[in-house]
Amino acid sequence: MLMKAEQSTLLLIDVQEKLMPAISYGDEVVDRCIVLATIAGLMEVPVLGTEQLPDKLGHNVEAVRELCNQTLAKHHFDACPDGLVDQLPEGRQHIVIGGCETHVCMMQTALSLLDAGYKVWVVADATGSRNEFDRDVALDRLNESGARIVTLEMVAFEWMRHCKHPQFRNIQALIK
């Protein structure tokens, strides 16, 4: 099953300034989330962000925040009980997800979206946890639960579908 840009929403979970220094390879995760959100913008894919207790943990990294069409503040680890599903654009059943922490907020949100009937793709190179083992186990669990584990480049090329796409050169430049 291919991801389709016209059916997709990008969801970036808790890419927060105060959290990212504790995340293994946090700078790379932030960079991948920024590139992913930039590609989503070029492809007219809505971008939603979440922030866990922003009054205590701070807001998302500025560059991520600027690329989000909207951001949901939450206190549950799973963003769905805090109103995420109501904020998702209608008619877009493909949820492409990245962010932190893979084994807590990102995983619980992805599992709830699967339970709600959405098709979920987790962008492995745009996810992070403090401990890499926790991240890896979460990705395995998500895969076993029906989420598709993908990379940023897989998302970009599936959304474009062909090399004659008007954004091909711009997107190719972002991922090189």
pTM of structure: 0.97
User: What's the Cα-to-Cα distance from 145 to each of 66, 119, 122, 140, 149, rounded to whole Å?
Assistant: 32, 11, 12, 9, 11
What's the confidence (pLDDT) of residue 147?
98
What's the confidence (pLDDT) of residue 176?
84
Burial (CB count <10 Å: 0-12, 13-18, 19+), residue 114: middle
pLDDT tens digits, 32-59: 999 999 999 999 999 999 999 999 999 9
As a whole number of Å, the CA-based R_g of the chain is 15
Going along the chain from its start, the domains and CATH numbers come out as 5-175 (3.40.50.850)
In contact, 48 and 88? CB cutoff 8 Å: yes
* Spatial distance between the Cα atoms of 134 and 126, rounded to a whole number of angstroms: 15
Structure tokens at 53: 């207790």
What's the confidence (pLDDT) of residue 26?
95
Report helix, strand or coil for 169. helix
What's the confidence (pLDDT) of residue 70?
96
In contact, 94 and 7? CB cutoff 8 Å: yes
pLDDT tens digits, 137-153: 999 999 999 999 999 99
SS3 content of the chain, % helix, strand, coil (to 5): 50, 20, 30
| Regions of the chain short of the pLDDT cut 50 | none
